[in-house]
Amino acid sequence: MKTLRLIFGLPVLNFYSMTPLTVATVASSTYDSASAMTAVRDQFPLLKTRAHGRPLIYLDSAATTQKPAPVIDAMADYYASRNANIHRGAYHLSQSATGLYESARARVARFIGAAEPAECIFTRGTTESINLVAAAWGRANLRAGDEIILSELEHHSNIVPWQLVAQATGALIKVIPIEDNGALRLDQYRALLSSRTRLVAVTAVSNALGTLNPVREMIADAHAAGALVLIDGAQWVAHGRTDVQALDADFYAFSGHKLYGPTGIGVLYGKRLLLAAMPPYQGGGDMIEHVCFAKSTYAEIPNRFEAGTPHIAGAVGLAAAIDWLSEVGLERVAAHEHRLLRQATDRLSAIPGLAIKGTAPSKTGVLSWVVTDPPLATLDIGTRLDLQGICIRTGHHCCQPLMERLGVAGTARASFGVYNTAQEVDRLADALAEIVDQVRQARPATAGPIAMTGHDAPLAVASALTCMYPAATAASPAAAAQDILDLFDDLPDWPMRYQQIIDLGHGLPPMPPALKTKENFVPGCQSLVFLASRIRPGTTDIIEFMADSDAELVRGLIALLRQLFSGQHAAAILAFDTPAFIDRLGLAGHLSLTRRNGLEALIQRLRRVASVAAGPVIAQSAAQSTHSRRPQHGRPGSRLPTTTANQSERR
């Protein structure tokens, strides 16, 4: 029977049994999409809410999936009527909770095709599962000169644990390169395999690009070389069938929250012989056989690796999610998501100035892109879409080595779930086209991408900047803050405040290229940010600065900081309670954690400059105070009071 090719030449596959969906199957699932899939979506309470007054469109399932009502109900029922600690209670309620927990383990084992439930260890998620193998198996088995093979597609959680164990054991890390389209170079992978290879740790699906890796083939190649294999299945288990025995995987890790289940629960599958030979990962209750002060012995698997009270409700919710997803049907899910991926790829590819990152022949429901004409930071893409009720992910997606390979700081990413619709894809594409067009029309023709300047920038250019540092806008930071608050108090909601910040950014003079140096680069912002500061010539403590970023939102935040602090005395900068001002302005609830961290990095850079400048002034003031004040009752002179800003640093 003829196979239907959907996108990039990719058949819709039951990937782990390698059974293609047929034309008849997909045709039937098209009918499902128009009828039964609507009923599926209706089971997600959160998707009935609104964002900024608009219907919520959630396109971030690769970060976490939304939860259907049966999962929410199962966890609520556990807490309402079954809650007790497990394994150690002689009473019926504890035995009932234990039964739920262990039946969840059995359900997981059936779902992934494990030989027995004991091979399934409950963890907090994929990250902890990988760390468990790295710590327990890696430290016990790796030696100096042994090799671990990873790939350029890996999430940080499948890189850093292996770096830690390599540092501890002397093992070496080798990396499989990718093609420009995001596909693994399997020829290079096979060339890396050798008698020194002890472990291959690769993702089944790239969380950043959606690349679907041929893990069955890769496992066979690794085993032929005598190596074990760990598969990061976090981005696969909700999108197609998994059979760890058919794969012959040695270890397999995934998270419940990527599977329409709760956060804080995940699974590590391991072959019994491997798990039984591994030492414990953590010590505590329930993982022991016998304890005395001279020596302890440990429980059999799986208890050996589940120290302490586990996330019982999480296991119950995970089992409910597996039951729910199995009832929907993974084949139906795969066909639905491939249709959305094809539609999104076609629509976004047609937007001038937008470039898709990751066009491997085999993909699942993830689409990443950048906007290069006009240059538009991914942060600004995500923030502008949010104002239209559209949720996407922006940044490096915990894949910094991959972003470096692609030559970008980050991408914008839409990722699809069973609840997404063709109408939502159209809204995404229409909104993106509108945003790109608006920015193209609003941005000056001379504006270009921000970039770092080398150390050989002419000093003459820098010396010509002396008159360009902005002066104070008010008598003090507090007075400047009040001016800003008066303006923002007249703006009733976040969309209007966001637009005001963007307008402030548009009015920020561009930073001269001569100052965009490595020394002026501000790390920790995700966006490209530079800040140049100085003490005003002829003064000892007046701080002036200019800054710039490739993100419009960050430029707006820089404009706020410039209005607050540039041209102000160092002591006044240190005394100003910046966190309270940010809260009062209403920004804290609308900036992501990484964006707040970036703003904090800018503030701390300025505070360090102010601290250096204020040091001599404070010392001189303290000396004068000491000489003018006679100590009382034998005590030394009073110290300067602690400033509000110093208190805020300890929060």
Residue 19 has pLDDT above 50, yes or no: no
Q: What is the pLDDT of residue 286?
A: 92
pLDDT-wise least confident of 20-34, 64-78, 336-350, 589-603: 20-34
Residue 38 has pLDDT above 90, yes or no: no
Q: State both tokens at 516.
A: 């965009």
Residue 218 has pLDDT above 50, yes or no: yes
- Distance between the two ends of the chain, CA-based, in angstroms? 65
Domains observed in the chain: 5-64+331-442 (3.90.1150.10), 70-327 (3.40.640.10), 459-648 (3.90.1010.10)
Residue 313 has pLDDT above 90, yes or no: yes
Q: CB neighbours of 135 closer than 8 A, spacing ≥ 6?
A: 161, 165, 281
pLDDT-wise least confident of 317-321, 433-437, 452-456, 614-618: 452-456
Say if residues 228 and 222 touch (Cβ distance below 8 Å): yes
The answer to whether residue 467 is catalytic is: no
342 vs 126: CA distance, rounded Å:
28
**Average pLDDT over every residue of 210-214:** 98
Q: What is the pLDDT of residues 133-168, one digit of tens each?
A: 999 999 999 999 999 999 999 999 999 999 999 999
Q: What is the pLDDT of residue 533?
A: 92
pLDDT class for 644, splitting at 50, 70, 90?
very low
pLDDT class for 250, splitting at 50, 70, 90?
very high
pLDDT class for 481, splitting at 50, 70, 90?
very high
Q: What is the pLDDT of residue 463?
A: 46
pLDDT-wise least confident of 75-84, 122-131, 282-291, 494-503: 494-503
Identify the residue with better confidence: 415 or 579.
415
Q: What is the pLDDT of residue 594?
A: 73
| Whether the model pTM is above 0.85 | no
**Average pLDDT over every residue of 559-576:** 94
pLDDT-wise least confident of 9-13, 118-122, 445-449: 9-13
Q: What is the pLDDT of residue 146?
A: 98
8 vs 30: CA distance, rounded Å:
20
Residue 449 has pLDDT above 90, yes or no: no
Residue 116 has pLDDT above 60, yes or no: yes
Q: What is the pLDDT of residue 630?
A: 37
Q: What is the pLDDT of residue 618?
A: 52
Residues found in the chain = 651
Q: What is the pLDDT of residue 629?
A: 38
Percent of the chain with pLDDT strictly greater than 90:
73
pLDDT class for 616, splitting at 50, 70, 90?
low
In angstroms, the Cα distances linking 395 to 69, 99, 166, 255, 422 are 31, 42, 28, 21, 25
**Average pLDDT of the chain to the nearest whole number:** 87
Helices (H), 193-255: 215-224, 244-247
pLDDT-wise least confident of 98-102, 277-281, 588-592: 588-592
pLDDT class for 643, splitting at 50, 70, 90?
very low
Q: What is the pLDDT of residue 528?
A: 86
**Average pLDDT over every residue of 408-425:** 97
**Average pLDDT over every residue of 579-588:** 87
45 vs 67: CA distance, rounded Å:
8
- Dihedral Cα 79, 85, 90, 96, nearest 10 deg: 40
pLDDT-wise least confident of 259-273, 300-314, 500-514, 565-579: 500-514
Q: What is the pLDDT of residues 371-410, one digit of tens each?
A: 999 999 999 999 999 999 999 999 999 999 999 999 999 9
Q: What is the pLDDT of residue 599?
A: 87
Q: Give, as one character, the DSSP assignment of residue 598.
A: H
Q: State both tokens at 46.
A: 């959160």
Q: Strand runs (DSSP E) across 138-207, as ranges? A: 147-151, 172-176, 197-203
Residue 431 has pLDDT above 60, yes or no: yes
Residue 631 has pLDDT above 60, yes or no: no
281 vs 131: CA distance, rounded Å:
9
Q: Hey, which residues does 205 pair with through a beta bridge?
A: 212
Nearest to 80 by CA among 273, 253, 257, 313: 313
Prior bond of 117 cis (ω within 30°) = no
Highest mean pLDDT among 335-344, 442-451, 518-527, 583-592: 335-344
Catalytic choice (120, 292, 391, 398): 398
Q: What is the pLDDT of residue 47?
A: 97
Residue 585 has pLDDT above 60, yes or no: yes
pLDDT class for 521, splitting at 50, 70, 90?
very high
pLDDT class for 589, splitting at 50, 70, 90?
confident
Residue 4 has pLDDT above 50, yes or no: no
Q: Give, as one character, the DSSP assignment of residue 302.
A: T
467 vs 470: CA distance, rounded Å:
8
